Amino acid sequence: MNKYLSIFALAFATLMLNSFTQPDEGLDWKGFNEGYAKAKKEKKIALIDAYTEWCGWCKKMDKDTYANAGIAEKIKKNFVPIKFNPELEQQYTLDGKTYTGMELLSILSNRQQSGYPTTFFIITTKKKILIEVGYQNATQFAIILDKMVAAANGSGELVPEK
């Protein structure tokens, strides 16, 4: 009986300790203007998640990919995560010029239609924009993130723009 009581006490203590620890808050998403400025200042890669409120695949990528602990850790280390909804009526500043959401989307995508979600990577130290179109699961996205870091560091080839 004493053995079971000890096991119960240990399990209860573990449960109580876990309830007081702070959960990982995930990614600290920035708006475009703030995030792009931060990426330039910190010489990090701007990871721009272009999404819309109505996009189911965007929500799936948020839930399955960006919420993945391994993905979040890679992003926190080398990227500034930016959420960008081009359908919002806001003004965005890129290199001293102001744009609407749709104008900025057009510039980022090199005037190519891309759909949602689309992830843009701006390697701020090289002023290079790379594009990944569509939903990426965590395994696929981890490979993409590693390639972007290698490209930014000069140890990998830049992926051609799509």
Residue 120 lies in a domain: yes
Q: What confidence score (pLDDT) does residue 33 get? A: 97
Q: List the CATH number of the domain containing 55.
A: 3.40.30.10
- For residue 33 the two structure tokens come to 């203007």
Domain span including residue 144: 25-153
pTM over 0.75: yes
Residue 13 lies in a domain: no
pLDDT band of residue 23 (cuts 50, 70, 90) is very low
Q: What's the pLDDT tens digit per position in 56-79?
A: 999 999 999 999 999 999 999 999
User: What string of H, E and C letters represents the secondary structure of the chain?
Assistant: CHHHHHHHHHHHHHHHHHHHCCCCCCCCCECHHHHHHHHHHHCCEEEEEECCCCCHHHHHHHHHHHCCHHHHHHHHHHEEEEEECCCCCCCEEECCEEECHHHHHHHHCCCCCCCCCEEEEEECCCCEEEEEECCCCHHHHHHHHHHHHHHHHCCCCCCCCC
Bigger pLDDT: 155 vs 25: 155
Mean per-residue pLDDT of the chain = 85
Q: What confidence score (pLDDT) does residue 53 get? A: 97
Residue 161 lies in a domain: no
- Mean of the pLDDT values across residues 20-49? 85
Residue 14 lies in a domain: no
Can you tell me the distance from the alpha carbon of 92 to that of 42, in angstroms, rounded to the nearest whole number?
A: 20
Count of structural domains within the chain? 1
Q: What confidence score (pLDDT) does residue 155 get? A: 74
- Mean of the pLDDT values across residues 79-87? 98
Given a cut of 60, is residue 147 above it in pLDDT? yes
Q: What confidence score (pLDDT) does residue 156 get? A: 63
Bigger pLDDT: 3 vs 55: 55
User: How many CB atoms are closer than 10 A to CB 134?
Assistant: 14
Given a cut of 70, is residue 80 above it in pLDDT? yes
Peptide bond into 23 cis (omega under 30): no
Residue 3 lies in a domain: no
Q: What confidence score (pLDDT) does residue 127 get? A: 87
